[in-house]
C-alpha cells in the first residue's frame, strides 16, 4: 500500500458506494432539511434568518450550514441542488482526508490511512447523509479536519490559531460539535501547553463569542428553540438515548469494538490518538443524555464515523499486524452488508416527497396570505411559501417552551404541542399527522385541537386529489368563520362535527 494508486482506491470505492447507495433510494431529501432551506432563503432575501418573516425563532441548529446555503441562494443557485452538491463534495473531501491521514498524524502509515478510508468509504451511515440536504456532511468534515490538524502537533502559533478558528466553525455547524473544542482544550491542559492553549482559546472565543452574542441578541434565548422542543430532564429520555445507542451498535459494532479495544492499546497507538477515543466517548454520553435522535440513519453518530474508522485502523494494526487486512475486510464486509440490508440506512424520503407535492398544490390553490398549521414543517411550508404554524414547535417559541410532564417517552421532537394556542391563531388550514393529512389526530397538539368543540364548529374536512394517486386531507376553516378557503372545490367535504 505504498504506491499512489492503492491510496486512491478507497476514494474510488467510497465514490461508488456514495453514488450507488443514494441512487437506490433517490430522490432523497430529509424533510427537516427544508426548514434550513426556508431560513436560508429568507436570510438571502433580506427577511433575516427566520422561518416566518417577522417572527424571530431559532428553529435550526446549524447556523453555518444555513449561512452557506443563504450565500449560494443569493448567488442564484437552487438551494436544494446546492445543498446536495456541497454535501457530496464535503463527504468526498472527508474521505480524502482520512485516506491521507498519514500526512497529518505522526505514526500513521499509508496502509493504515488506506484501511481507514475503506472503512469510511463503505459506511452507509456516512453515504446516507451525504445528499440528504442536512448539515451532517459539514459537521463531519469540520470535525475531521479540526482533529487531524490538532493531532498533527505543529509547534506553530498560526497553526494553533487555525485550529481554534475551525473549532469555532465546527460548533457553529451544530452545537454538540462544541465537544471538539472541549477535548482539544483538555488535551492542551493535560500537556501543560499553555502558550498554545491561550492561542486556541482566544481565537475560538473571538469567533464563536461574536456569533453567540449576535444570536443571543437576535433570538433572545440561550439555546436554540429546537433544544427546548427535544430535550427534557427525565430518566425516560436517557432510556431513549440508550435505545438509540444500542440501535447504532447493529451497523456500528465493528468500529465501536475497535474503539473499546483502543483503550487497552492506548500506549501502542500513534501519538495522542487517545484524543479521538475521548471525543467519541464524551459524544456518545451526550447523545444518550439528550435522548438520541428521531431520524433513521444514526445522524448523531455520522460525524464521528471518519475518526472512528481511523481509530479502528490504527488499533487493528497494533493489535495484529499479520492479520490486519483480514480484520479490515471483516469491517468492510459488515459495512456493505448493512448498506444493502438495513431499513434504518435505506429509508427513503416519503414524507418530504409527498410534502413537496402538497406544498406545490397549496401554492397554486391557496391565497398567499393564508395561514397554515402543520406538523410537517419542512417541505410543505418551503414549497407553499405560506406563513406556517409549526405545530410540533421546532419553529414556534410558545410551543417549544411549554412544559410537558412525560418528556422522553415519545419520539424526540414530536412530544410537544398546544391545541388551544394553535386555535387561537385561527389558521386557515390544519394538516393532521403527516404530509397528506388525516381526519384524525396523531400528535399532542392535533389531539388537543380535535378535542376542542370550537375547532369542530369552525373547521370542516376537505379531501382534494392533488395527484392521480394521492389525496390531501386538510381541515379548512369555514368562510363564515373568517377562513380564506381554497380556490377549487374538494372532491369530498366532511362536516367538522365528526368528533361527536
Secondary structure class of 472 (helix, strand, coil): strand
pLDDT of res. 43? 98
Q: What is the C-alpha to C-alpha distance for residues 90 and 94, in angstroms, rounded to an integer? A: 6
Cell numbers representing residue 324 in the block: 490486519
pLDDT of res. 335? 95
Read off the DSSP letter of residue 374: E
Q: Is the pLDDT of residue 461 over 70?
A: yes
Rounded percentage of the chain residues whose pLDDT exceeds 70: 98
76-105 average pLDDT score: 96
| 277: Cα within 13 Å, side-chain hemisphere | 21
Centroid of chain to Cα 498: 38
pLDDT of res. 5? 44
pLDDT of res. 154? 86
Residue 1: band (very low, low, confident or very high) from pLDDT cuts 50, 70, 90: very low
Cβ(229)–Cβ(399) below 8 Å: yes
Element (H, E) at 399: helix 397-400
Rounded percentage of the chain residues whose pLDDT exceeds 90: 83
77-89 average pLDDT score: 97
- Which residues touch 14 (CB under 8 Å, ≥6 apart)? 92, 95, 117, 120, 121, 122, 127
pLDDT of 365-383, one tens digit each?
Answer: 999 999 999 999 999 999 9
β-bridge mates for residue 176, sequence order: none
Q: What is the C-alpha to C-alpha distance for residues 306 and 493, in angstroms, rounded to an integer? A: 53
Q: What is the pTM of this model?
A: 0.94
pLDDT of res. 320? 86
DSSP codes joined into one string, 173-234:
H-GGGHHHHHHHHHHHHHTT-HHHHHHHHHHHHHHHHHHHHHHHHHH--SS-HHHHHH----
Q: Is the pLDDT of residue 500 over 70?
A: no
2-13 average pLDDT score: 72
9-38 average pLDDT score: 92
Q: Is the pLDDT of residue 127 over 90?
A: yes
pLDDT of res. 256? 93
124-131 average pLDDT score: 95
pLDDT of res. 346? 86
Residue 233: band (very low, low, confident or very high) from pLDDT cuts 50, 70, 90: confident
pLDDT of res. 487? 87
pLDDT of 442-459, one tens digit each?
Answer: 999 999 999 999 999 999
pLDDT of res. 496? 65
- Between 77 and 499, where is the model more confident? 77
Q: Is the pLDDT of residue 349 over 50?
A: yes
Average pLDDT of the chain?
Answer: 93
pLDDT of 240-280, one tens digit each?
Answer: 999 999 999 999 999 999 999 988 888 888 778 899 999 99
Q: Is the pLDDT of residue 62 over 50?
A: yes
207-234 average pLDDT score: 95
pLDDT of 473-482, one tens digit each?
Answer: 999 999 999 9
pLDDT of 147-200, one tens digit each?
Answer: 999 999 888 999 999 999 999 999 999 999 999 999 999 999 999 999 999 999
Residue 497: band (very low, low, confident or very high) from pLDDT cuts 50, 70, 90: low
- Between 291 and 468, where is the model more confident? 291
* Cα-trace Rg, the chain: 24
pLDDT of res. 2? 42
Secondary structure class of 85 (helix, strand, coil): helix
Q: Is the pLDDT of residue 105 over 50?
A: yes
pLDDT of res. 3? 42
77-100 average pLDDT score: 97
Amino acid at each position: 500500500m505504498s504506491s499512489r494508486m492503492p491510496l486512491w482506491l478507497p476514494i474510488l470505492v467510497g465514490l461508488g458506494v456514495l453514488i450507488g447507495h443514494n441512487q437506490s433510494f433517490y430522490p432523497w431529501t430529509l424533510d427537516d432539511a427544508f426548514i434550513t432551506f426556508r431560513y436560508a432563503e429568507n436570510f438571502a432575501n433580506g427577511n433575516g434568518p427566520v422561518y416566518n418573516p417577522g417572527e424571530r425563532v431559532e428553529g435550526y441548529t446549524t447556523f453555518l450550514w444555513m449561512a452557506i446555503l443563504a450565500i449560494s441562494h443569493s448567488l442564484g443557485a437552487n438551494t436544494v441542488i446546492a445543498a446536495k452538491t456541497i454535501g457530496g463534495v464535503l463527504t468526498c473531501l472527508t474521505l480524502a482526508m482520512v485516506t491521507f491521514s498519514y500526512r497529518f498524524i505522526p505514526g500513521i502509515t499509508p496502509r493504515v490511512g488506506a484501511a481507514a478510508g475503506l472503512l469510511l468509504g463503505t459506511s452507509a451511515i456516512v453515504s446516507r447523509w451525504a445528499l440528504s440536504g442536512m448539515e451532517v456532511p459539514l459537521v463531519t468534515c469540520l470535525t475531521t479536519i479540526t482533529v487531524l490538524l490538532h493531532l498533527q502537533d505543529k509547534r506553530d502559533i498560526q497553526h494553533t490559531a487555525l485550529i481554534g478558528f475551525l473549532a469555532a466553525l465546527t460548533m457553529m455547524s451544530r452545537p454538540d460539535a462544541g465537544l471538539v473544542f472541549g477535548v482539544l482544550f483538555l488535551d492542551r491542559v493535560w500537556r501543560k501547553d499553555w502558550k498554545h492553549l491561550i492561542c486556541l482559546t482566544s481565537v475560538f472565543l473571538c469567533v464563536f463569542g461574536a456569533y453567540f452574542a449576535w444570536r443571543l441578541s437576535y433570538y433572545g434565548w440561550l439555546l436554540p428553540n429546537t433544544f427546548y422542543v427535544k430535550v427534557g430532564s427525565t430518566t425516560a429520555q436517557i432510556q431513549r438515548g440508550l435505545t438509540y445507542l444500542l440501535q447504532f451498535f447493529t451497523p456500528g459494532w465493528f468500529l465501536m469494538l475497535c474503539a473499546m479495544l483502543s483503550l487497552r492499546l492506548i500506549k501502542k497507538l500513534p501519538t495522542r490518538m487517545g484524543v479521538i477515543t475521548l471525543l467519541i466517548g464524551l459524544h456518545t454520553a451526550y447523545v444518550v443524555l439528550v435522548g438520541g435522535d428521531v431520524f433513521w440513519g444514526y445522524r448523531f453518530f455520522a460525524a464521528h464515523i471518519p475518526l472512528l474508522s481511523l481509530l479502528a485502523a490504527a488499533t487493528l494494526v497494533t493489535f495484529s499486524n499479520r492479520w490486519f487486512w483480514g480484520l479490515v475486510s471483516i469491517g468492510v464486509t459488515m459495512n456493505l452488508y448493512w448498506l444493502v440490508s438495513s431499513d434504518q440506512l435505506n429509508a427513503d424520503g416519503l414524507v418530504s416527497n409527498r410534502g413537496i407535492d402538497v406544498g406545490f398544490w397549496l401554492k397554486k390553490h391557496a391565497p398567499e396570505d393564508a395561514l397554515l398549521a402543520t406538523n410537517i414543517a419542512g417541505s410543505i411550508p418551503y414549497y407553499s411559501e405560506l406563513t406556517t404554524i409549526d405545530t410540533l414547535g421546532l419553529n414556534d417559541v410558545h410551543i417549544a417552551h411549554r412544559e410537558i410532564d412525560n418528556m422522553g417517552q415519545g419520539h424526540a421532537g414530536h412530544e410537544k404541542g398546544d391545541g388551544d394556542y394553535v386555535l387561537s391563531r385561527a389558521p386557515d388550514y390544519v394538516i393532521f399527522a403527516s404530509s397528506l393529512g388525516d381526519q384524525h389526530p396523531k400528535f399532542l397538539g392535533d389531539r388537543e385541537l380535535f378535542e376542542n368543540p370550537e375547532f369542530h364548529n369552525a373547521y370542516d374536512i376537505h379531501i382534494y386529489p392533488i395527484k392521480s394517486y394521492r389525496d390531501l386531507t386538510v381541515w379548512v376553516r369555514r368562510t363564515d368563520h373568517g377562513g380564506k378557503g381554497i380556490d377549487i372545490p374538494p372532491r369530498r367535504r366532511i362536516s367538522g362535527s365528526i368528533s361527536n
